[in-house]
Amino acid sequence: MIRFAPLLALLAAGCATVPTPSPISDDVYRALGTEPFWSLVISERELVFTEANAPGVKIVQRRPRPIIGFAGEIYQTKRIGVNIVHSRCSDGMSDRIYPDKIQLRVDDRSFEGCGGQLIPPATLLNSSWTVEAVNGRATGGGERFHLVFEGDKLRGRFGCNSTNGTYSIAATTMTAGRLAPTRMACPDMSFEIQAVRILAQPVELNFAARDRLIMINAAGSIALRRQH
Domain boundaries defined on the chain? 15-115, 127-226
Q: Does residue 6 register a pLDDT over 60? A: no
> What per-residue confidence (pLDDT) applies to 121?
62
CA gap 165, 173 in Å, rounded: 17
Instruction: Determine how many CB atoms are found less than 10 A away from the CB of residue 196.
Output: 18
| Alpha carbons 218 and 166: distance in angstroms, whole number | 21
Among 27, 112, 2, smallest CA distance to 100 is for 112
Of 7-11, 37-41, 46-50, 124-128, give the lowest mean pLDDT range: 7-11
Closest CA to 39 of 87, 98, 124: 98
Q: Is the pLDDT of residue 8 over 50?
A: no
Contacts of 41 (CB under 8 A, 6+ apart): 28, 29, 30, 31, 47, 48
120: confidence class by pLDDT, cuts 50, 70, 90: low
Instruction: Kindly report the average pLDDT of the chain as a whole number.
Output: 83
pTM comes to 0.51
Q: Is 157 exposed, middle or buried (0-12, 13-18, 19+ CB in 10 A)?
A: buried
Of 116, 112, 33, 48, the closest CA to residue 80 belongs to: 48
Domain range 127-226, CATH class: mainly beta
Give SS3 for 68. strand
Provide long-range contacts, Cβ within 8 A and 24+ apart, for 125-129: 125/149, 125/151, 126/150, 126/151, 127/226, 127/227, 127/228, 128/226, 128/227, 128/228, 129/213, 129/224, 129/225, 129/226, 129/227
195, 139 contact by CB (below 8 A): no
Report, as an integer, the average pLDDT of 58-67: 94
146 has pLDDT over 70? yes
Residue 37 pLDDT greater than 70, yes or no? yes
Instruction: Summarize pLDDT for 126-140 with one digit per residue, the tens.
Output: 899 999 999 999 999
